[in-house]
Each structure stands twice: as structure tokens, then as C-alpha cells.
Amino acid sequence: MLFLLPFLNGLTLAQNPLAEDTGRFNLVFNGSFEEYRFCPKRVDAVGILINVEGWYQPTRGSADYFNTCGSKECGVPVNKLGEQLPHEGEGYCGIYCSKNDYREYLQTRLRRKLKAGDSIRVSFYVSLSEQSTGAVATLGALFTQESIYDTVRSILLHKEYEMLSEDISQMVAYSYDPQVVNPVGMSLVDTKGWQRVEGVFVAEGGEQYITLGNFFTAERSGYVEPDSLTQLLPGAYYYIDDVFVECLNCKPPVTDDLNVDSSFLTQEQPSFSIGSTFVLEDIYFEFDKSTILQQSYFELMRLISLLNTYPNMSIEIGGHTDARGSEAYNQRLSESRAKAVTEYLILKGVSEKRLHYKGYGKAKPIDTNDTEEGRARNRRVEFKVLSI
């Protein structure tokens, strides 16, 4: 469930969406991976991508981030997985497209929903790590209406549940069909420079998420093994940079004031009276931890936009849990999560004097704790207006 507030029509996030040379408008936030929460320290085979603002992995396949400020493992141009200068700026991401079924992906949310009939041009740059065993062709971009998440480390599939009877259902998995994909006969083998993957498609309407990666089996991926590769890594590993999504036929031209789609906004203007409380629906943490996941980026930026719009407003960030676990554990977890959100806002320039945080544990449920849906609603972060 997504809850956005009507005062956020003018939301502007960190990255300038206009290409400096052309005036083109990028529908992707942080497309060149320059905005980051902290410098990358290690390449973790089972890690979670939490450094790059706005980007995250939709599966358990562990995408990586590299930057000139990174450690020896995650540096630029030399790092644990190879050597490459960025196509632009100081950083880039990396994903495996293995010769078996192991896969890694990158996902983010667009600045606005696509509309039916929008002509959309997509481009991004890839460079093959010279330490790879082989190379693939079919890297592509998938656009979906909803965010995709799966716990697998294999090829990302579209899964649906079909009812066979009143009490029996079965899961059916389908291959995704990315709207833009590099031709199967043109394997992406360049290890010295960057190759551009690009294409144009017509939106069906409602697409708001983009996922990058290889959606095809090894047999259908144009897999090759050039002699120039060192064959140290299992399969094909690609650095990715400069993701650009633009609407070719939008009228009036897409500008910065369209970066929040009005269809997401509630109908009534909220009342900002002292003591009023609002739930931040899209705040996510690592399981049983206070580490903020990058899926939370957009909701946090909306809160920052609100605080910038009302410079005299001070708020309390409140953390809440469900009823499972001891009272002491839930109290600590809720407080540490509220503190983490507060520290993030401070990092982004909000004055510490305007922010307070408090953990409420399981003391203030807003739904039943007898169902998973109810418990999910009770696990929440809120902000309460203290002054305006």
C-alpha cells in the first residue's frame, strides 16, 4: 500500500534529471549511480545493495556498487571483480549474468508512471569484467506496474497462483518479456570500453518500475567465451552505468514538476495540526535490523520535501513493531529504527533541532496481530507534527 501526501507535487530529488548537453529529461533517479549513502566497503556474495540511493536488488542475487571512494574491493577503476573507469562520474554498479541460472538484477522506481501510448527510449551502458568466464548478449530492461521481489537467486520469473479448487492452488511461473533487450546475436564482449544497450517501446500505461538484467536462460542468452577473458569469475559479470529513460512524444515536455504522478496522491489535503500523525508506508528495513533498505528512498525524499516546504515544522519519528517477540526486544528494535530514519534525515540536511525520535515497541497497534496483514501494518514508521 502506498500513501503519498498532496503537498509533495513539487518534490525534487538529489540528481538533476536533465542531461547537461541536450536538455533531455531522465525518468530515472540517480541513473549514473553518483548519489550514495556511504562509500562501498566490500563485495558480498550474499549481501544487500544498500549504498546506492534509489536502487536496490529485487532478488537475493547480490548486486554490487563501486566508487572511487570505495575500499580496495569496491574501488574505481580497480576492484575485486576487475578494472574499469566509469562511463561517467565516479561510480557504477555490477551484476552477474551467469552461464548457469544464477542471476543478479537492479531495480528502481521511475519519476512518474508511464502513460498508455508514451514512446519510451531506454539506454544504459555495460562493460564486461575481464575476469569473467564468458559473455552474454541479452541484457535488457523490464518495465512493470508493481515492484518485483523474489527470494530466489536464479532467473527472475513472473509468478501467479491459480486456484484449482476452493482449497487448492498452484503456482505458475512465466518468463518475463523485457521491453528492451540487446539482440541475442550481439554478445556484449567489450572489457576495455562501454557498450550501449538501447531500444524504444510504447508503454501500455501504469509502468513505474524498471529492472535491469538478463531474463533469459543461458541457452537463449547468446553466451560465448572469448579467449581474452581470464576465466576467474563464474560466468559473465557486467559493470552498469548511465541508465537513461526518456519519453519521446510527451506533450507538454516532461519537466521537473512531473516527478510525482498525481494519481498517487490522496484526495484530501491533510491537516497539519500539532499532534497530527502520518504513516510512512514505504519504509523498509533489513529483517530484524534497523538498516534502511533503498526501497525506502522515495518515501524519505518526500518527507524531506515536506520539511523543506515547511521550514518551521518539527516532527517526531516514531517506530512501531508487531506483537511478536518480547517487550524489551520490540522496544529496542522500534527505537533503533526510528533513530535510523532520523539520522538519515540529518544526513540529507534536515536540522537535528527539528527532529526527535521515539520507539513505541508493540504498545500502539493500528491493526490486529492475529494475521500477517495486520502485523505488517503494525510494523511501521510514523511522523508526528510537534510544531509548525
Contact 289, 157 (CB under 8 A): no
Q: Identify the burial level of 45 via C-beta atoms within 10 angstroms of its C-beta, where 0-12 means exposed, 13-18 middle and 19 or more buried.
A: exposed
Residue 107 lies in a domain: yes
Of 237, 254, 271, the domain-final residue: 254
Residues 278, 236 share a domain: no
Q: For the sheet with 314-320, list strands across it.
A: 277-280, 380-387, 314-320, 355-359
Contact 147, 249 (CB under 8 A): no
Residue 366 lies in a domain: yes
Residue 100 lies in a domain: yes
Residues 120, 159 share a domain: yes
Q: What is the pLDDT of residue 101?
A: 84
Residues 200, 58 share a domain: yes
Strand partners of residue 12: none
Residue 19 lies in a domain: no
Residues 226, 175 share a domain: yes
Cell 528502481 belongs to 108
Residue 11 lies in a domain: no
Residue 20 lies in a domain: no
Rounded to the nearest 10°, the torsion over CA 325, 326, 327, 330 is -40
Q: What is the domain-level CATH number for residue 123?
A: 2.60.120.260
Q: What is the domain-level CATH number for residue 346?
A: 3.30.1330.60
Q: What is the pLDDT of residue 172?
A: 79
Cis peptide before 40 (omega within 30 of 0): no
Residues 227, 151 share a domain: yes
Q: At a CB cut-off of 8 Å and minimum separation 6, what does 165 contact?
A: none
Residue 222 lies in a domain: yes
Residues 286, 320 share a domain: yes
What range does the domain containing 292 cover? Answer: 262-387
Q: What is the pLDDT of residue 10?
A: 34
Q: Which of 95, 63, 110, 150 is nearest to 297 (CA)?
A: 110
Residues 249, 370 share a domain: no
Residue 8 lies in a domain: no
Residue 203 in grid coordinates: 508503454
Of 208, 236, 254, the domain-final residue: 254
Residues 320, 301 share a domain: yes
- Number of domains making up the chain: 2
Of 254, 287, 321, the domain-final residue: 254
Residues 266, 247 share a domain: no
Name residue 380's amino acid.
R
Strands 355-359 and 314-320: parallel
Residues 304, 216 share a domain: no
Contact 21, 88 (CB under 8 A): no
Residues 169, 67 share a domain: yes
Residues 189, 63 share a domain: yes
pLDDT of the chain, 388 residues: tens digit per residue:
333 333 333 333 334 455 444 568 999 999 999 999 999 999 988 889 999 999 999 999 999 999 999 999 999 999 999 999 999 999 999 999 888 889 999 999 999 999 999 999 999 999 999 999 999 999 999 999 999 989 899 898 887 766 666 667 677 788 899 999 999 999 999 999 999 999 999 999 999 999 999 999 988 999 999 999 999 998 999 999 999 999 999 876 555 443 443 322 333 445 678 998 999 988 999 888 999 999 999 999 989 988 998 999 999 999 999 999 999 999 999 999 999 999 999 999 999 999 999 999 999 999 999 998 999 899 999 999 999 8
